[in-house]
Each structure stands twice: as structure tokens, then as C-alpha cells.
Amino acid sequence: MQSVLRGIPASPGIVVGPVHLLRWEVPEVSHRLIADEAIDAELVRLHVAFERARDRLRQLRARAEQHVGPEEAAIFDVQVSILDDGELTRSTEALIRQNLGAEKAFDLVLLEWRQRFARHSAPMLREKVGDLMDVHIRVLSLLLDLPDHDPVDVPPGANAILVTHDLTPSLTLQLDRNCISAIATEAGTATAHVAILARSLGLPAVVGLRNALSFLVPGQIAILDGNEGTLLIAPSDHELEDARLRVEQEAGRVDEMREIAHSDAITADGVRMVIRANVDIPDEAEMGATSGADGVGLMRTEFLVVGRATMPDEEEQYKAYKKVIQAFGARPVIIRTFDVGGDKLPVGGFPTEANPFLGWRAIRMCLDERELFKVQLRALLRAGVHGDLRIMLPLVVTVDEVRETRSLIDEAVVELAERRIPFRADVPLGVMVETPAAAIACDTLVRDVDFFSIGSNDLVQYTLAVDRGNANLAPRFTPFHPAVLRLIAQVQVTGAAHGIDVCVCGEMGSQPLAVFALMGLGIRQLSVAPRAVGEVKRVIRSVRMAAAQDAAQAALAAGTAREAETLLRRRLRTELDAAAQSGGLPALS
């Protein structure tokens, strides 16, 4: 059956390929009782399943080591060690001896283990819940004889579109990019981390395709359009031809954008903007450095942690930061300290807190886990000798958090000095403004910080009380709400009054209409996905700052997000048409 599934565009690009369905969920297990005589055979069944799971994990380990890297491959060792755990085997065997079927016995033990780990106070042990869930699914699938779905098991060269309910950042990083060309998820929104990572990896993606899995047959051909946010199932010959044509046009457009990306970000009336890149993984550094960006406005270091069995040590972090800093030469590189928690260090299946987004995450966790935080601070200070590094703190709500961090930096300085290794002590320190608290009271921060960076993804989420990752709420997640626009204006005005740089580093900075609004609100620095640099510069070069200011004033006075968006769109269209007519840049599609 042919049909178009509509979701949310998350990462641009068009891909034609077979769908690979990933149902990586704990299967339903019925309560099966066995006779005394069947107990021995059931124990054998359990051990055979464990052995097959170990074999599979070893294969996956070898493959991950080859395609992704040794640190990421180590996650499979952790899962093998769970299967080797004597307590796990003994507890499951005990339940089988009480006449429970092997699958139910294993299911109950794993549920209990996952809950126990989920409540653990140590973050790395809580993270282990994800591994426990993987083992839970893998062994149950073997015991129940279910098809061997696997997140990292797609035939090589398949050029497949991976379709799944949701992807954690760690699964996204483990994907074999030689086999998967695009991602489609039922859950998620454009600012969810799967979308951000897909953009970093250059994988076209559509998210929020509710119930997509129920419409699809494994292996059937589909067209994923990451620009439009659609998945077309079983296309006709004509649609396939049309898609191939659009793939070619897209390639031409990418070339054109690449050219614009290397031009100056100056408006039609001569105002200069600074466009930096968001770099999420060190491997992206080279690409970011040649993207036409004026440095890095946000490096999300938590992606060094996710998908890993152990925390990266000081040396490994130092090398990762140095790699990015050196790639950008003399250009500034802003590295954000760990923003783990919320949806970024997800613990499979079980929320460890009732409200993870309001919970123990980001700077809060780092300040409580001082040693873990100091490892990162030392690595950063050491990397600081290689270029223009600046450190940024996520989710700050009070100046106390900045002051406490400064005192930890002082301790890190003493520790490094004792070791007699090169480091830079006076690295500038800035904060993300991504809560209404930080935005409204940003004047309380100005004496203690060197710069502000507005995290619009979280600022929208916390201001409008709309979960950024919830596909059901996607239409309500808008940066054009007057409350959000007014908060941004307030931060900009306060920053300017105190000589503090204000950048916007959320996804808002990559959307043409939002760029126009931000310019009008006085923002002169944006940090965007490397692939969006050309598009953003194209908007900047096509419009007059005076027109953006006018439009932003009108948007600030609008009663609703829709009103603000409509009037901004109309005025941007006028500017773009004028630019096209005067022989400048063609109007945006």
C-alpha cells in the first residue's frame, strides 16, 4: 500500500532506500509455570540463551570496534560482564527452580535489577540501566524466539532508512553509517537530541512520525525527505524518478550554500554578524573548521560520555578538546561543560527522576560530583594553551553556580601547577541562558561571567512549559511566542549595557525566519550546525538590519506566536524579494 507519513523535518536531505525496522523494546512475557520434571531442561534453555547472547555481543563488539571506535565498542564488554554476573544467574535459576518459565524468571530479575540501578546515586551506575535494558531485550528475544532485531545490525551497503520508535544518543552514535543513510523515528522533535545528532552526523532524518512502525513492512522501499519531514512508502516509478531528481537538485543547492558559507556575514545595509558552528563530536571538528564558521559557539561535550562504558579520563578529554581547538586555529572555541541528565544521559526505560528536565542534570550534577567535574576542568585548562578556548556552563539559574565553578577552576589550577604541565589559568567563563530564571535575572550574573549564550531549545521548553522532545506537543514548541522573544531581548539589552557578548546557540539560530527575528532583537552572534552556515549567511546578506529591527519590534508587541510569525514572515519575504530583484541573492525557497 502506498502512503505518505508526515512527521517533523529534523535533518535535511532526501534518501531512497529500504526501511530497516528496529523494534528495540522489552517484549511482553506471559507468566508461564513449568512442571518439576521440566526444571532441568528450562535451566539448560537459559544457559543456551546466555551463550548465544554472549556470542552475538562479541560479534557486535568486533564490528563496533572496526566502525566506531574502541571506547564505544567497550559497551558490549559491559553487557557481556552482566551476563557473566554470578548473582544474575543464581537469581534467575532460583526462580526457575520455583517452577517459573525461564523467560519470566529472567524478566523479573532484570526488572528488579534495572529498578535498583536506576535509583543509584552514582551517575555511571545509573547509566548502566541502559546496558541492562539491552541485555534484557537480547536474552528475552532469544528465549521467546523473536526475530533478531538489532540496533547496529543492518546489512552492509544497504543504504537503509532506519525506522524506530525512538533513538537514544548512545544508539545513534553506535549506528553503522556505512549501512544506514537516514533515520526516521516515531517520537521526538526537531530539538530532541536524536535530531541534533543526526544533523551532526549528516544523516537525513524525520522525527515525530507517530505510529510509523505499524504501517511498514521490513525491506520495503521508501523515500525519506528530511527537508519536508515525510516518509513516502512504496513509491511509484514516477515518484522514484522525481526523488532522484530532487536528490540531484539538493546536491546543487548544497554546493551553492557551501560557497555562500565562505562569504562575509554582512547585511545589505552593512552590519556584520558573527556566525560560529555547533560541534557535537570531535570528529566533526574538521568539517566545522572548513564550514565558513568564525569558530565554535557550542561544543556539547556530553556526547563524549554517551554510549560509553566508562567516563573519559583527563587525557582522553584533553585530546578531544585539543583536536577541536587546533582545527579552528586562532578562532574562538566555546566548549560547554557536561550537560548530562534530562534526555542526554538517558537511562533506558526507567526515568530515574519524576521530572528529569527539572532534575539533577548539567551544572547541578557537575557541582555535586566535584571530582568528575574537576577532571573535565583540568582537561579544558590544559587544552586552553592550544588556541582561543572559552568555557561555558549549562543550565545556570544562579550566580552561586558560577562562583562555585570558579573555585573548582582555582583548585584545578593548583593541581595542574603541581604537576608542572602546560595549562592556561585565565580561560574566559560564560553561561548558557536557557531558563527563564537566568534570562530574567541575567543582570545578577554580569559581574561574574564573560559572556552569555542563549540556549533557545531549553529556553523555549522551560518558558512555555513544553517538553522539547514530545512529538505530541511539537506545534506548541515555538520560539516566536512573545514571552520567548521578550526574554531574548532582555538578555541582549542587559548584555550590551554591561559589554557582555550575547550569542544564540540553540536550533533557533539555524532557521531563516528566526535568524531575521534575532537580528532585529539586537543579536549579533549565532552558533549553528556547520551545514546551516551557508543558509544563515544567505539570509543575513539578503536583508537590511533596519528592516529586521522594525519587524522584531512588531513581533515583540504581537499577542501570539502565530501573529509574530506571520508578520515576520511577511517582512522577511519582502526583503528577500527585494534582494532577488536588485540582482542580489535569489529568494529563499
What residues make contact with Mg ion under the rule CB under 5 A? Answer: 434, 455, 458
Q: What is the DSSP letter of 272?
A: B
Catalytic residue, chosen from 20, 193, 386, 481, is 193
* Per CB under 6 A, 300 contacts ligand PEP: yes
Query: Burial of 37 by CB count in 10 Å (0-12 exposed, 13-18 middle, 19+ buried)?
Result: exposed
Nearest to 167 by CA among 143, 147, 193, 145: 193
- CA–CA separation, 426 and 391 (whole Å): 10
- Residue 179 annotated among the catalytic residues of the structure: no
Grid coordinates representing 133 are 535494558
> Number of C-alpha atoms within 13 angstroms, CB side, residue 583?
0
Residue 456 binding partner per list ligand PEP, Mg ion, none, with a CB distance cut-off of 5 to 8 Å that depends on partner kind: ligand PEP
Contact of 72 with 307, CB cutoff 8 Å: yes
x/- letters, 420..449, toward ligand PEP (CB under 6 A):
--------------x---------------
Cα–Cα dist 310/330, whole Å: 32
Question: For residue 160, which phi and psi values (nearest 5 degrees)?
Answer: -85, 155
- Spatial separation of the C-alpha atoms in residues 108 and 99, rounded to whole Å: 14
Shortest CB 566 distance to Mg ion, Å: 28
* C-alpha grid cell, residue 10: 529534523
Contact with ligand PEP (CB under 6 A) among 339, 369, 401, 575: 339
Residues facing 501 on adjacent strands: 451
Distance of CA 454 to the CA centre of its chain: 17
The answer to whether residue 341 forms part of the interface with ligand PEP (CB under 6 A) is: no
Residue 339 beta carbon to ligand PEP: minimum distance, rounded to whole angstroms: 6
Q: Is 455 a binder of ligand PEP (CB under 6 A)?
A: yes
Q: Which does 168 bind (CB under 5 to 8 A by kind): Mg ion, ligand PEP, none?
A: none
Quickly count: other Cβ atoms within 10 Å of residue 359's Cβ: 15
What's the min distance (Å) between Cβ of 193 and ligand PEP?
A: 7
According to CB under 6 A, which one of 185, 376, 457, 542 is a site residue for ligand PEP? 457
Contact between 509 and ligand PEP by CB under 6 A: the answer reads no
Q: What is the DSSP letter of 180?
A: E
Nearer to ligand PEP, 292 or 297 (CB): 297
Nearest by Cα to 495 from 466, 519, 524: 524
Q: Give the helix/strand (H/E) hosting 324.
A: helix 314-327
CA distances from 107 to 29, 55, 134, 135 (A): 7, 20, 12, 11
Q: Is 506 in the site for ligand PEP (CB under 6 A)?
A: yes
Query: With respect to Mg ion, which residue has the nearer C-beta, 225 or 434?
Result: 434
Residues in contact with ligand PEP, counted by CB under 6 A, come to a total of 10
- Give a three-class secondary structure readout of 329-381: CCCEEEEECCCCCCCCCCCCCCCCCCCHHHCCCHHHHHHHCHHHHHHHHHHHH
Residue 188 lies near ligand PEP (rule: CB under 6 A): no
Q: What's the Rg (C-alpha) of the chain? A: 25
Compare residues 57 and 395 and give the one whose CB is closer to ligand PEP. 395
Q: Does 458 bind ligand PEP (CB under 6 A)?
A: yes
Say if CB 10 and CB 230 are below 8 A apart: no
Whose Cβ is closer to ligand PEP: residue 168's or residue 457's? 457
- Which option in Mg ion, ligand PEP, none does residue 300 bind, with CB closer than 5 to 8 A by kind? ligand PEP
Shortest gap between Cβ of 350 and Mg ion (angstroms)? 23
The window from 50-58, 165-173, 453-461, 492-500 that contacts ligand PEP (CB under 6 A) reads 453-461
Query: Which residue in the set 505, 517, 532, 585 belongs to the binding site for ligand PEP (CB under 6 A)?
Result: 505
Phi-psi region of 155 (alpha: psi -120 to 50; beta: other; left: phi over 0): beta
Measured CA to CA, the distance from residue 209 to residue 544 in angstroms comes to: 38
Nearer to ligand PEP, 341 or 520 (CB): 341
Q: How far is the CB of 275 from ligand PEP (least distance, A)?
A: 15
In the bound state with Mg ion, the residue whose beta carbon lies nearer, of 127 and 507, is 507
What is the residue type of 418? E
Contact window for ligand PEP (CB under 6 A) among 233-241, 364-372, 383-391, 451-459: 451-459
Interface stretch with ligand PEP, choices 63-71, 363-371, 456-464, 494-502 (CB under 6 A): 456-464
Least gap, CB of 394 to ligand PEP (angstroms): 7
Q: Which residues are catalytic?
A: 193, 505
> Which spans of this chain sit near ligand PEP (rule: CB under 6 A)?
298, 300, 339, 434, 455-458, 505-506
